[in-house]
C-alpha cells in the first residue's frame, strides 16, 4: 500500500499535461498496467495485467492516438518531477546536473508502420545483425546516484528518423536531439554526456547558447589547434585565430607529459591510469575546448572532450565513465517494461520497397500526411508512457528500498549490498501490493475506483485482483 501511495503521488504531478480528467485517468491506468504486467505482448498485456474488461482494449488504443495530451508537455512535467524528487541523488559534475543521451534502434517488421527504414547498427558482439528494419529513437536520461551505485532515469524519447514531411526540412538527428533536450525546460545548469557521434557543432553550439555543456568522446583522428601567436607587426586582413595544428593521436607518444592517478571510472578499484589535459581550439565550433587523453591499462586509449574548461580532468573521466548506464536502461526498457513493444499499424499506408530509406511525404496529400502524424503521435505516446513507468520504478527503488524488498515476495540468489532494487524487483513488489491497493483504498480514491469499475470478474486475473 505504501508503494502505491508514493507511486500515485508522483503520477498526480503529471495531470497538467492532459486536457481532461478522464484522459488522465486512462493514462494512469495504462501506466499502472505497464508497471505490473507479467508479459510484453503489446496493448493486450495491459488488459490482462489489470484483469480489465475486453472493451478497455479499444479505449487504450484510443488513448495512445488521442490528442488530449501533448507528449512534449508530458516529458517536460516528468523531467520537472524527476528533478524535484531526486534533487539530492542527481549526479553532479561541478555545479552541473549530469544528463545522458544516446540512440537506440528498435526492430520493426511491419510494412504498415510509418518511419520504419533500413538501419545500420554497429556492435562489439556478433549477436546483432549489421542491418535491420526498424525505428531509430533517441533518448535523454538523468544520471542518478543510488547508494553505492548509479543508474540512468529516462526523461524523454522520440523517433527522429524515417519520415520527412517537407523537402525544405534539413534537420538532422543531432538537431532534433538538441531541440528535444532544450524543450525539457531544465532550469538548473546542465551537462550532457554522450558518445562520439554527438561531438558536433549541431549539438555543442545550441547547448552553449543556453548555458549547457557537453562531455563526449572524439574520434581517434581528431585534430585541434593552438591559439595563434601574437606578431610584432600587424598584417593586412583578419587576425589569425588558429596556430599550430595538433594531431591528438600523436600526443599519446609524449609519455613524459602524462600524469598518473587512481582510476575514477565507475566500478574500478585499484587501477591506475594515465591522463593528459590540453586546452585547444577545435575548428568545428571555433572555440577552446578541453581535451583529456586517457591511457588505460586494460581499456586502451580514449580522447575525451569537454566544453567546460573549469572541470577537472579526473571529473571529466569519471563523468564520461557512467555513460554506459543509459545503455543498461535500454536493456531494462526492452526486456522488463516493453517501452518499445508497440504494434500500431497504419491501414492506408502505401507499400514501400524493402530497400527504401526515409519516407518523403511532401508530394502526398494532406490527409495522408495527417494519418502518418497520427500514427507517429501514438508511437511517441507509447514511448513516453513507458519512459515514465520505468522512471517511477526507479524512483521507488531509491526512495522506498525497504518497502520494495519487503514486498517483492520472491527469491534472489545474491543480494548486492549498496545496490538499489532493479526495475523487475520493484514491479514484482507493486504487483503483489496491487490487490490491497484496490481493496483498501478509500471510496474517494480516484484511480482505484476507476480501475475497480473496469475489472472483468469473469476472468482469473480480475477475480485475483477483486478478491
Reported as a single tens digit per residue, the pLDDT across 99-132 is 999 999 999 877 889 989 888 887 666 677 888 8
Quickly tell me which residue has 595563434 as its cell. 228
399: three-class secondary structure by DSSP: helix
Task: Name the E strands within 81-172.
Answer: 92-93, 96-107, 117-120, 131-146, 149-159, 163-164
C-alpha 277, offset from chain centre: 30
8 A C-beta contact, residue 52 and residue 454: yes
Residue-wise pLDDT tens digits, 37-72: 989 988 999 999 999 999 999 999 999 999 999 999
Please check the confidence at residue 351 and state whether its pLDDT lies above 60: yes
Using one digit for the tens of pLDDT, what is the confidence trace for 276-307?
A: 999 999 999 999 999 999 999 999 999 999 99
Query: What are the residues whose beta carbons fall under 8 Å from the beta carbon of 463, sequence distance 6 or more?
Result: 51, 457
**Alpha helix (H) residue ranges in 210-258:** none
Percent of the chain at pLDDT > 90 equals 68
The region, left, alpha or beta by phi > 0 then psi within -120 to 50, assigned to residue 211 is left
413 pLDDT band, cuts 50/70/90, is confident
Given a contact cutoff of 8 angstroms between Cβ atoms, the answer to whether 186 and 79 are in contact is yes
Would strands 96-107 and 117-120 be described as parallel, antiparallel, or unpaired? unpaired
**pLDDT on residue 126:** 61
Tell me what pLDDT residue 240 has.
79
- Angle formed by the axes of helices 2-11 and 366-399, to 10°? 140
- pLDDT score of 467: 62
DSSP 337: I
Amino acid at each position: 500500500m505504501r508503494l502505491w501511495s508514493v507511486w500515485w503521488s508522483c503520477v498526480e504531478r503529471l495531470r497538467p499535461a492532459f486536457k481532461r480528467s478522464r484522459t488522465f485517468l486512462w493514462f494512469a491506468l495504462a501506466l499502472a498496467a505497464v508497471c505490473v504486467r507479467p508479459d510484453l505482448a503489446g496493448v493486450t498485456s495491459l488488459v490482462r495485467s489489470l484483469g480489465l474488461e475486453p472493451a478497455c482494449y479499444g479505449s487504450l488504443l484510443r488513448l495512445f492516438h488521442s490528442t488530449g495530451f501533448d507528449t512534449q508537455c508530458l516529458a517536460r512535467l516528468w523531467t520537472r518531477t524527476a528533478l524535484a524528487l531526486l534533487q539530492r541523488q542527481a549526479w553532479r559534475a561541478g555545479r552541473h546536473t549530469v544528463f545522458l543521451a544516446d540512440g537506440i534502434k528498435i526492430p520493426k517488421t511491419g510494412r504498415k508502420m510509418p518511419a520504419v527504414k533500413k538501419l545500420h547498427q554497429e556492435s562489439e558482439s556478433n549477436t546483432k545483425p549489421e542491418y535491420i528494419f526498424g525505428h531509430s529513437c533517441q533518448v535523454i536520461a538523468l544520471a542518478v546516484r543510488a547508494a553505492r551505485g548509479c543508474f540512468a532515469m529516462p526523461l524523454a524519447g522520440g523517433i527522429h528518423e524515417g519520415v520527412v514531411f517537407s523537402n525544405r526540412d534539413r534537420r538532422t538527428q543531432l538537431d532534433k536531439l538538441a531541440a528535444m533536450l532544450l524543450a525539457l525546460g531544465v532550469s538548473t545548469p546542465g551537462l550532457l554526456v554522450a558518445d562520439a557521434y554527438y561531438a558536433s557543432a549541431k549539438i555543442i553550439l545550441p547547448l552553449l547558447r543556453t548555458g549547457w555543456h557537453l562531455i563526449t568522446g572524439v574520434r581517434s583522428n581528431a585534430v585541434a589547434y593552438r591559439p595563434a601567436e601574437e606578431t610584432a607587426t600587424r598584417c593586412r586582413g583578419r587576425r589569425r585565430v588558429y596556430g599550430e595544428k595538433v594531431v591528438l593521436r600523436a600526443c599519446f607518444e609524449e609519455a613524459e607529459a602524462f600524469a598518473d592517478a587512481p582510476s575514477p571510472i565507475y566500478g574500478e578499484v585499484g587501477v591506475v591510469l594515465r591522463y593528459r589535459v590540453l586546452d585547444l581550439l577545435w575548428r568545428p565550433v571555433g572555440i577552446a575546448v578541453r581535451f583529456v587523453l586517457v591511457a588505460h591499462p586494460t581499456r586502451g586509449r580514449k580522447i575525451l572532450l569537454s566544453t567546460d574548461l573549469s572541470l577537472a580532468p579526473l571529473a571529466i573521466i569519471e563523468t564520461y565513465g557512467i555513460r554506459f548506464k543509459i545503455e543498461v536502461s535500454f536493456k531494462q526498457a526492452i526486456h522488463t517494461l516493453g517501452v518499445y513493444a508497440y504494434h500500431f499499424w497504419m491501414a492506408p499506408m502505401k507499400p514501400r520497397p524493402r530497400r527504401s530509406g526515409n519516407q518523403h511525404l511532401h508530394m502526398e496529400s494532406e490527409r495522408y500526411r495527417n494519418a502518418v502524424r497520427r500514427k507517429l503521435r501514438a508511437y511517441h505516446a507509447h514511448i513516453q508512457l513507458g519512459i515514465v513507468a520505468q522512471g517511477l520504478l526507479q524512483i521507488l527503488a531509491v526512495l522506498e528500498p525497504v518497502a520494495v524488498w519487503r514486498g517483492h515476495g520472491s527469491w534472489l540468489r545474491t543480494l548486492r549490498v549498496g545496490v538499489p532494487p532493479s526495475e523487475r524487483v520493484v514491479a514484482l513488489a507493486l504487483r503483489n501490493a496491487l490487490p490491497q491497493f484496490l481493496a483498501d483504498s478509500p471510496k474517494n480514491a480516484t484511480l482505484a475506483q476507476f480501475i475497480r469499475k473496469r475489472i472483468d470478474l469473469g476472468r482469473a486475473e480480475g477475480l485475483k485482483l477483486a478478491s
